[in-house]
Amino acid sequence: MKKQFNRMKQLANQTIERRLELARLVSHNTHKRLVSCLQGQLGTDTEKRHKKLPLTGLSQTMQEGGSQLGEESLIGKMMDVCGEAEGKLAFELLQHEMQMEKDILDPLNQLAEVEIPNILKQRKQLAKLVLDYDSAKTRWLQATKSTNPAMAAKVDSLKDEMDEALNKVEICKDQLSADLYNFASKEGDYARYYVMLLETQAEYHRRSLAALEAVIPTIQTQQDSWMEKPAFGTALEEHLKRTNREIALPIEACVMMLLETGMKEEGLFRIAAGASKLKKLKAALDCSTSQLEGFYSDPHAVAGALKSYLRELPEPLMTFSLYDEWIQASNILDSDKRLQALWVTCDHLPKAHKANFRYLVKFLAKLAQDSDVNKMTPSNIAIVLGPNLLWSKTEGTLAEMAAATSVHVLAIIEPIIQHADWFFPEEVDFNVSGMFSLPSHPPTPDPEPLLDRKRPGSMGQDGDSHTPRKDRYLSRPNLTVSALYVVANESITVTETPTEDLPSPDFKAVPQSNVDPTNPVTNK
């Protein structure tokens, strides 16, 4: 029974020894990997360690770059603010690594390199003392059984030596047992190191996130307040709000340049400009610059830029929401009612869209007054610009959308340009922002200065009729849908094959008593 007990005890000791060795090994490997995760140099003083962090170097580089670019550069401002944020992250990282070194790395190293090795060393020491005891006991037994007087005389000394060896074994055994019990009782504390690792990392990331969340709104505010953002492809309302403008910069800039040099240009909006020149002008307008003197000499590039801006709007100038209403108005056969419906739809445009549409229409009407020279009649203008002002939100290719819209758009845009002063009776100051020089040529005189701004074709007071406006008949050139698409989107000259002009139904005479100049819907 005693042998079995000793055997079980031996096996238990071997199991504990293996467990201790494994605990030492995994603790050592974990400590080694954690040290490799540190960005700072382990064991150095705080200041030196902070300087060695990669984030610190990044912060310094970004702030130096921001200083070099200056406050006038958005990149410089962003680099300076972001560099400061990186500096805060570097400080949080330093605090995190120092805390992890104190609370986790040092205890793990102590466990792997000191505490467990001491227990294992104690175990080996016990094994050595047991051997010493066994040797002393063997010598004592041999002396007690020997008949040699000399050996018999040594019995007492050998007995003392054996007792001393046994005493050492017991002391070592007690010490080893205490160490083992101590390790077993502290195993929960040792396991706690790994929980503390996650808690420390979580706290570090929380502090880092808080630092970032504190600076990101500032960065976004500066980014949003920065005026020099691309105008092309940006929603109209966003562009106007950001630039504090009433009329979009590309629209006003292109109109002002065309008023200066393009009003007599034949085929304006139809003849393509050089791609490089157009790209350069669009880039200049994206930078919100008013220094455009180099483009005045190429009105076709200016016209191309204006068409491109209108086409690249995320929502057309005449809006997606009113698309069906525009189409329904264009389908009305009676010209008088059709104009009324177009007026109502135009009045439904959002404020920003209506202001820019009015500005553009008044310019296009002014352009059409020189159609004898530039060949850009309201019909031709509607053909080339209409599909850039209104298109369907329905997904599809550009050609499909243009084909579905162009015919209707022609019937919408042409009468609006023809009757621009009725749709928008107020005068327009084209240099609305004051950024551009006024046209050097005199304005085109109104061909009918005495004509009241009433519905086209309406009668005057008490039977005094005015001469009907020159544009009372709407001509409809016989262009195919594909030709409309090409002209509107490719800006190339297309030879029209006109048929006999089909006059629209004559405007009905309306008694003055039924005319409300402020609301053409009542002019029935």
Whether 497 is covered by a domain: the verdict is no
- The answer to whether the CB of 468 falls within 8 A of the CB of 245 is no
* Confidence (pLDDT) at 14: 64
Check whether residue 265 and residue 151 sit in a common domain: no
Model confidence at 310, pLDDT cuts 50, 70, 90, reads very high
Check whether residue 243 and residue 181 sit in a common domain: no
Whether 498 is covered by a domain: the verdict is no
CATH number (domain holding residue 95): 1.20.1270.60
Amino acid (one-letter) located at 156: D
Model confidence at 523, pLDDT cuts 50, 70, 90, reads very low
Q: Per mean pLDDT, which range of 147-151, 170-174, 360-364, 514-518 is the poorest?
A: 514-518
* Confidence (pLDDT) at 9: 54
Instruction: Tally Cβ neighbours within 10 Å of residue 483.
Output: 17
* Confidence (pLDDT) at 349: 95
* Strand locations in 29-170 (E): none
Instruction: Tally Cβ neighbours within 10 Å of residue 436.
Output: 18
Range of the domain at 121: 1-226
Q: Which of 423, 456, 471 is the last residue of a domain?
A: 423
The burial class, CB within 10 Å (0-12 / 13-18 / 19+), for 462 is exposed
Q: Can you tell me the distance from the alpha carbon of 253 to that of 432, in angstroms, rounded to the nearest whole number? A: 10
* Confidence (pLDDT) at 498: 37
Check whether residue 222 and residue 251 sit in a common domain: no
* Confidence (pLDDT) at 401: 55
Q: Which of 423, 453, 483 is the last residue of a domain?
A: 423
pLDDT digits (tens, 9 = 90+) for 237-294: 988 888 888 999 999 999 999 998 889 989 999 988 888 888 988 888 887 666 677 7
Q: Per mean pLDDT, which range of 82-91, 174-183, 341-350, 392-401 is the poorest?
A: 392-401
Top mean pLDDT of 32-41, 440-449, 485-494 is at: 32-41
Q: Can you tell me the distance from the alpha carbon of 380 to that of 210, in angstroms, rounded to the nearest whole number? A: 60
The first and second tokens of residue 186, run together, are 């502290």
Q: Can you tell me the distance from the alpha carbon of 440 to that of 442, in angstroms, rounded to the nearest whole number? A: 7
Whether 324 is covered by a domain: the verdict is yes
Name every residue whose Cβ is closer than 8 Å to that of residue 481 and which is 6 or more positions away in sequence: 402, 403, 406, 407
Q: Per mean pLDDT, which range of 68-72, 95-99, 194-198 is the poorest?
A: 68-72
- Owner of token pair 């919408």: 412
* Confidence (pLDDT) at 227: 55
- The answer to whether the CB of 485 falls within 8 A of the CB of 402 is yes
* Confidence (pLDDT) at 83: 92
More confident residue, 5 or 42: 42
Check whether residue 133 and residue 60 sit in a common domain: yes
Q: Can you tell me the distance from the alpha carbon of 319 to that of 350, in angstroms, rounded to the nearest whole number? A: 9
- The answer to whether the CB of 368 falls within 8 A of the CB of 258 is no
Q: Which of 399, 423, 447 is the last residue of a domain?
A: 423
More confident residue, 216 or 466: 216
Q: Is the pLDDT of residue 65 over 90?
A: yes
* Confidence (pLDDT) at 127: 87
Q: Is the pLDDT of residue 321 over 70?
A: yes
Q: Is the pLDDT of residue 484 over 70?
A: no
Model confidence at 219, pLDDT cuts 50, 70, 90, reads confident
Check whether residue 13 and residue 135 sit in a common domain: yes
Model confidence at 208, pLDDT cuts 50, 70, 90, reads very high
Check whether residue 245 and residue 206 sit in a common domain: no
Whether 455 is covered by a domain: the verdict is no
pLDDT digits (tens, 9 = 90+) for 107-151: 999 988 998 888 888 888 888 999 998 998 898 888 888 777 777
Whether 432 is covered by a domain: the verdict is no
Give pTM, 2 decimals: 0.54
CATH number (domain holding residue 387): 1.10.555.10
More confident residue, 8 or 472: 8
* Confidence (pLDDT) at 499: 32
* Confidence (pLDDT) at 282: 87
* Confidence (pLDDT) at 13: 59
Check whether residue 179 and residue 65 sit in a common domain: yes
- As for how many domains the chain has, the answer is 2
Check whether residue 61 and residue 113 sit in a common domain: yes
- The arithmetic mean of pLDDT across residues 24-49, rounded, is 86
Check whether residue 357 and residue 300 sit in a common domain: yes
* Confidence (pLDDT) at 59: 93
Check whether residue 197 and residue 127 sit in a common domain: yes
- The arithmetic mean of pLDDT across residues 437-441, rounded, is 50
Whether 510 is covered by a domain: the verdict is no
* Confidence (pLDDT) at 516: 43
Check whether residue 73 and residue 141 sit in a common domain: yes
Whether 397 is covered by a domain: the verdict is yes
Model confidence at 337, pLDDT cuts 50, 70, 90, reads very high
- The answer to whether the CB of 90 falls within 8 A of the CB of 59 is yes
Mean pLDDT across the chain: 78
* Confidence (pLDDT) at 47: 86
Closest CA to 460 of 516, 509, 518, 520: 509
Q: Is the pLDDT of residue 99 over 60?
A: yes
- The arithmetic mean of pLDDT across residues 439-452, rounded, is 43
Q: Is the pLDDT of residue 341 over 90?
A: yes
Closest CA to 302 of 349, 336, 244, 257: 257
Check whether residue 175 and residue 324 sit in a common domain: no
pLDDT digits (tens, 9 = 90+) for 69-97: 887 788 888 899 899 999 999 999 999 99
Query: pLDDT > 70: what percent of the chain?
Result: 76
More confident residue, 195 or 297: 195
* Confidence (pLDDT) at 403: 56
Q: Can you tell me the distance from the alpha carbon of 118 to that of 176, in angstroms, rounded to the nearest whole number? A: 9
pLDDT digits (tens, 9 = 90+) for 509-521: 333 333 343 444 4
Whether 502 is covered by a domain: the verdict is no
